[in-house]
């Protein structure tokens, strides 16, 4: 299933529902090891809980298989989600910070590989 951007949505990129392993690091250590819920060329929503602050810069690593280096992106925490009556999970919303053209191409390839039928 692919997400779409609604008229009230401030996101400028189409989100794709995809579960990818991801690790999030602050300046010194691993703070989240989890999976993505959705990813776009502008950022990602991860399932996980961490002691981070909105506005904090982090490093995100997404494995790309045994023979390739992980995709490494810098990101900013834009929202922290807590469980509620309608949502029973913690979430971490991230916005990519200045991804290079190589990063964008690698992310697009990763999404294409994970969302195309086998």
Domains plus CATH for the chain?
A: 16-115 (2.40.10.220)
SS3 54: coil
pLDDT digits (tens, 9 = 90+) for 80-102: 988 777 767 788 999 999 999 99
Picking from 17, 9, 63, the residue whose alpha carbon sits closest to that of residue 40 is 17
Q: Assign 25 a pLDDT band (cuts: 50, 70, 90).
A: very high
pLDDT at 76 over 90: yes
Token digits of residue 116 = 């195309």
Tell me the β-bridge partners of 17.
38
Q: Assign 117 a pLDDT band (cuts: 50, 70, 90).
A: very low
Residue 33 main-chain phi, psi, to 5 deg: -125, 110
pLDDT at 107 over 50: yes
């Amino acid at each position: 299933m692919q997400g779409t951007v609604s008229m009230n949505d401030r996101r400028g990129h189409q989100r794709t529902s995809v579960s990818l392993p991801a690790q999030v690091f602050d300046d010194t250590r691993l703070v989240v090891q989890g999976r993505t819920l959705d990813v776009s060329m502008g950022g990602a929503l991860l399932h996980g809980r961490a002691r981070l602050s909105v506005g904090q810069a982090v490093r995100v690593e997404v494995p790309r298989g045994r023979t390739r280096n992980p995709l490494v992106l810098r990101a900013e925490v834009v929202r922290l989600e807590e469980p509620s009556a309608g949502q029973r999970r913690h979430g971490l919303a991230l916005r990519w910070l200045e991804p290079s053209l190589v990063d964008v191409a690698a992310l697009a390839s990763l999404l294409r590989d994970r969302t195309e039928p086998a």
